[in-house]
Structure 1
């Protein structure tokens, strides 16, 4: 079995309404969907975090990989990427993430060729369902959806999620320039959802250390399960630790610094930031060894999101809910999507490989959206269009 063809398609995954975060307003996500086809007619699916990955995959990787053995992932990586561990001044992170999309498809092919789901290739399933948080935020209105602009409106949204889907695990933005509205929203959520609800927050590095200290004092009584990126650096986070017992999480996968500084307490990443599933597995194992939690990223299509299902299913150490924007995503590229948690959980697929089916019609729709509208600008500031926000450093 050899690699016969590689396809890489840039797509848009729109949200039902734009949500507000520290850098502006986000209306959706732009990705690259990868198909690796073999001489035996199998097709492996992968997903890259940027539409720019498509050109790298088609122009740089595909000519090197056609005719290669798709099972030998290590050999495929050596053909596409130079050694990049420890050479950080020269690392091409864009190529590493692009290869992660191809590598995901190669893992899918392994599972399909061997007739086993991904979680079996990772060592076996320890759980049949995986927990996810449901996202909340202040949102702009679009086509009669969204428009939550005050604490009561956000609480009403979360109460509807609980009524409609059984959601009791929530994660949302605490990133307004004036933290007052965000703090009042958390107070309203804790009061309205009760003590049994899990509340996690994400500030996307919005605050200086001094502001974060003041925020911590205000939200400490609210039993916040984790606070993601409250400040811009691990060093400031270590100083913030002296003022709060709230656990911290980050997207930056710098394990050595975390161990040295004692913060963060958890990492939340996608697989591409590590260069693919194989390296993500090693990172998760290292987190377990060091006593640090790990959970998975949000904002992907059903392909990468289902990979997260397999990772969590195969690792007892992934004990906290992963992130999801599933209920805010009306579109997907897979037949089985968009994924829809019920009572906080999504079943783990048992079919071979990733266990999902690419819908050519849905793929065409999402690609057409990309072509007609261009990639989503997640740094669009509705208050100052055309000017990028700057966040405080200290």
Structure 2
């Protein structure tokens, strides 16, 4: 193999249809934004990555790209160093101020790994330490939702705002994709109603591992009030309230493991988390931890400290899901079924259409690198969507008020 050096880095923003899914921050917009990253080497190998589609991230990758020419695809230290030189500021996103630097690194790093895997004719999971599982389990990711976007006809999922409708949504997920674990996005309706939804799910699916995610939407007092109903009902409770110290107060009062993808999202959050014993399950996300190597490092920290480990998700396409699957396949201490929004997405940017989910699992894609190929026609079409929709960032709050005009964002809300 010749020394693989980067000749060009390209980023293409895309937009694809997204249902009106609800969360503590509001409602999903009609289009979700992502970006497709291509790292092309001097000898013509093209590695693929996928990341967020916000304007600031796109501009940051574009600013970084010229400095990466001539860098070896194996030189992750150079990637971080050059990103530190060029990336300025943070993103304003779903969790407030979100660190831009690791998100930019992750966007490019996955594509560098993919290029290396293709050049070596090895699947990416082999480069991350070796495959410990051939298929990766994911959970049914349930959302409350409106029947359709404001001003549009109802979608084929329809409204989900009651326990009965929630059970119907779960039945469709399980009948279609075979999921075993079930996760409920919460923090939208009064907690009493959301826990009643969980209890309806338990009645319908008595053996399914359940979890609930209020997205920091409950106060400490509200969470403590409902702990007795959650004991024995959920396998973990995700981000019930705000901050490390607030969640530590909850964890001290329950044997239910608390999980997070909001308050332990960088290495500097780990020491205070261990000090306060706030979260016992970390939901990693290679998109914001700084890529695949950083996520494997996190997995080793979790192993050493006895923390549970799984994966967080956002609205994504098949390149992201393939990267998650390779990472999970090479992570021995994956404790819980991973999250994915993938069933909610109807479009795709890879050849052959959507990756298959069978028995609640995604098989590690065959082929070198990520094992997926970019569909150039789909990329052009989805980029046209991006230009036409006019969105440059995610804004769940404004979208929510198109349905509930008096709604206001609060965290905690209940």
Q: What TM-score do the two structures reach when normalised by structure 1?
A: 0.91
The whole-number CA distance in structure 2 between the counterparts of 1:296 and 1:128 is 17
Q: Describe the SS at the equivalent of 1:184.
A: helix
Partner of 1:206: 217
The whole-number CA distance in structure 2 between the counterparts of 1:388 and 1:183 is 22
The whole-number CA distance in structure 2 between the counterparts of 1:199 and 1:75 is 42
Partner of 2:238: 228
Query: Does the Cα contact within 8 Å between 1:71 and 1:106 map onto a contact in 2?
Result: yes
Query: Do structure 1's residue 381 and structure 2's residue 385 form an aligned pair?
Result: no
Deviations 1:139-161 (A, max 9, x none): 11234323112110110121222
Q: Describe the SS at the equivalent of 2:400.
A: coil
Deviations 1:117-169 (A, max 9, x none): 11101111111100000111211123432311211011012122222332221
List gaps (5 residues or longer) in structure 1.
85-90
Partner of 1:276: 291
The whole-number CA distance in structure 2 between the counterparts of 1:100 and 1:242 is 34
Partner of 2:412: 392
Partner of 2:278: 263
Cα distance, 1:185 vs structure 2:
0.5
Query: Does the Cα contact within 8 Å between 2:296 and 2:331 map onto a contact in 1?
Result: no
Query: Does the Cα contact within 8 Å between 2:217 and 2:240 map onto a contact in 1?
Result: yes
Partner of 1:26: 28
Query: Does the Cα contact within 8 Å between 2:64 and 2:86 map onto a contact in 1?
Result: no
Q: What TM-score do the two structures reach when normalised by structure 2?
A: 0.87
Instruction: Tell me which moved more, 36-45 or 49-58.
Output: 49-58
Cα distance, 1:48 vs structure 2:
2.1
Partner of 1:57: 61
Partner of 2:179: 167
- Give the alignment's Cα RMSD to 1 decimal: 2.3
Query: Does the Cα contact within 8 Å between 1:381 and 1:389 map onto a contact in 2?
Result: no
The whole-number CA distance in structure 1 between the counterparts of 2:230 and 2:82 is 50
The whole-number CA distance in structure 1 between the counterparts of 2:143 and 2:98 is 33
Query: Does the Cα contact within 8 Å between 2:167 and 2:204 map onto a contact in 1?
Result: yes
Query: Does the Cα contact within 8 Å between 1:326 and 1:341 map onto a contact in 2?
Result: no
Partner of 1:329: 345
Q: 1:336 to 1:296 in 2, by over 3 A?
A: farther
The whole-number CA distance in structure 2 between the counterparts of 1:138 and 1:393 is 16
Partner of 2:160: 148
Partner of 1:288: 303
Within-5 A mapping of 1:242-257: 242-251=252-261, 252-253=264-265, 254-257=269-272
Instruction: Tell me which moved more, 48-57 or 264-273.
Output: 48-57
Instruction: Tell me which moved more, 274-283 or 305-314.
Output: 274-283
The whole-number CA distance in structure 1 between the counterparts of 2:345 and 2:313 is 11
Q: Describe the SS at the equivalent of 1:332.
A: coil
Deviations 1:79-136 (A, max 9, x none): 222599xxxxxx9921331121011111111111111111101111111100000111
Cα distance, 1:220 vs structure 2:
2.1
Within-5 A mapping of 1:35-114: 35-52=38-55, 53-58=57-62, 60-82=63-85, 93-114=99-120
Among 326, 334, 343, the alignment partner of 1:310 is: 326
Partner of 1:87: none
Runs of 4 or more, structure 1, over 6 Å off, are none
The whole-number CA distance in structure 1 between the counterparts of 2:16 and 2:305 is 35
Query: Does the Cα contact within 8 Å between 2:317 and 2:342 map onto a contact in 1?
Result: no
Cα distance, 1:69 vs structure 2:
2.3
Query: Do structure 1's residue 11 and structure 2's residue 14 form an aligned pair?
Result: yes
Q: Describe the SS at the equivalent of 1:145.
A: coil
Instruction: Tell me which moved more, 39-48 or 241-250.
Output: 241-250
The whole-number CA distance in structure 1 between the counterparts of 2:26 and 2:282 is 24
The whole-number CA distance in structure 2 between the counterparts of 1:371 and 1:387 is 29
Q: 1:255 to 1:148 in 2, by over 3 A?
A: same
